[in-house]
Amino acid sequence: MIPPGRSSLVPGEALGSLKGVRCSKLRVLGKGSGLQAAAPTLSHYHLCLTLPINQLSSQGNELRPPELATKYANFSEGTCKPGHASALMTAIFPRFSKPAPMFLDDSFRMWARIQEFVPPFGIKGQDKLIRAILSVTKEYHLTPALDSLSCRRCIIVGNGGVLANKSLGSRIDDYDIVVRLNSAPVKGFEKDVGSKTTLRITYPEGAMQQPEQYERDSLFVLAGFKWQDFRWLKYIVYKERMSALDGFWKSVATRVPKEPPEIRILNPYFIQEAAFNLIGLPFNNGLMGRGNIPTLGSVAVTMALHGCDEVAVAGFGYDMSTPNAPLHYYETVRMAAIKESWTHNIQREKDFLRKLVKAHVITDLTSGI
């Protein structure tokens, strides 16, 4: 989320200390699993077992737990490896623990961690709006088919110009879950960005304003950065006339061509975790401030690390050394148009994402990070 007059920038990352700790994994079961999902508690984030630092092997400049090499030794190339990304993530961020639902459900008030903070890091003060939204959407998971997969391969498609002319479309479409951000178009760019969209994550100012631009089979996911975003979503799900649109830094969509069951609210824990636990942005008493808001790309990567077994990205990264290169794959604006963002810390995000790539937690298909 960016104030008026600022350019929207993509992901980055944070430096995390490597300590010999491994967190246990408690999988949250969703629809299609045949079991009732249990509401996670704060204790799920602190179930850690110590692992001596000398049990981590070094290969060149890469740190990889040796047990993973054994665990996945018999997997053929291209086969989804259950728990792969989270296991590698835990090696470089020892406090990382996978259990966290992608979306808010009707037990959201049980999540103490997000109740403590106002948006974007939590939902404090938003209970009434969120209850009203969830009472209509009534769906809180992925599709039954995706929830039933024993192993999920996910890709976050960024908006960077580095995607142009790479012909990665078919490779992107091969992933189980394809996540797109804000209003990045698909039509006309299928050769490079693919045609499949599973989730489109956005905030009001980033949402597509033309109904015909939305993909038929995708879920619309709100990332709430301020209380007005939840009010906006209530208008959308109830199909109400929007009488008050103040509080936004640009015009917003007044209609989203999705039925309520196709709409979700992203778990704000991912914004909080990306900012403070992973990227290392200023805490600022848990309030939005200068340089402490992670970009939507980094938030989506954080979400995927909790909900997917393998995670890839494409279209991430800006090369400031090439001012005449295209900023986004879908327009002619050049790299030189980037302005420093007041809300984001792009350098820290770059460091974070590079760390994930270096440790093989995520795969960067376009090598832009």
Q: What angle do CA 149, 275, 162 make, to 5 degrees?
A: 70
pTM confidence score: 0.80
Q: Please report which confidence band the pLDDT of residue 244 belongs to, taking 50, 70 and 90 as the band edges.
A: low
One-letter amino acid identity for 77?
E
In this prediction, residue 70 carries a pLDDT of 66
Mean pLDDT of the 342-366 span: 93
In this prediction, residue 243 carries a pLDDT of 72
Taking only the tens place, the pLDDT of each residue in 165-192 is 999 999 999 999 999 999 999 999 999 9
Q: Identify the residue whose tokens are 């810390």.
A: 345
Taking only the tens place, the pLDDT of each residue in 60-82 is 344 466 666 667 766 767 789 99
The reply to whether 11 falls in a domain is no
The reply to whether 15 falls in a domain is no
Taking only the tens place, the pLDDT of each residue in 89-143 is 999 999 998 889 999 999 988 888 899 999 999 999 999 999 999 999 999 999 9
- Alpha carbon distance 270, 298 (integer Å): 9
Quote the distance between the C-alpha of residue 364 and its chain's center: 15
Sign of CA dihedral 49, 55, 60, 64: negative
Please, how many CA atoms are within 13 Å of residue 291, restricted to the half-sphere of its CB? 12
In this prediction, residue 260 carries a pLDDT of 97
Which residues fall within 8 angstroms of residue 78, CB to CB, at 6 or more apart? none
Task: Give percent of the chain with pLDDT exceeding 90.
Answer: 62
Q: Please provide residue 64's backbone torsions phi and psi, each rounded to the nearest 5 degrees.
A: -140, 130
In this prediction, residue 146 carries a pLDDT of 97
Mean pLDDT of the 184-213 span: 96
The reply to whether 218 falls in a domain is yes
One-letter amino acid identity for 191?
K
The reply to whether 254 falls in a domain is yes
The reply to whether 10 falls in a domain is no
How many structural domains is the chain composed of? Answer: 1
pLDDT at position 88 over 80? yes
pLDDT at position 36 over 50? no
Single out the residue of 102, 108, 100, 101 nearest to residue 131, CA to CA: 108
In this prediction, residue 33 carries a pLDDT of 34
> Between β-strands 153-157 and 362-364, what pairing exists: parallel, antiparallel or unpaired?
unpaired
- Alpha carbon distance 140, 159 (integer Å): 27
In this prediction, residue 9 carries a pLDDT of 38
Q: Structural domain of residue 47, as residue ranges?
A: 21-28+42-364
Domain CATH number, residue 81: 3.90.1480.20
Please check whether residue 241 is in contact with residue 234, taking contact to mean a CB–CB distance below 8 angstroms: no
3-state SS, one letter per residue, for 185-250: CCCCCHHHHCCCCCEEEECHHHCCCCHHHCCCCCEEEECCCCHHHHHHHHHHHHCCCCCCCCCCCC
The reply to whether 34 falls in a domain is no
The reply to whether 83 falls in a domain is yes
The reply to whether 341 falls in a domain is yes
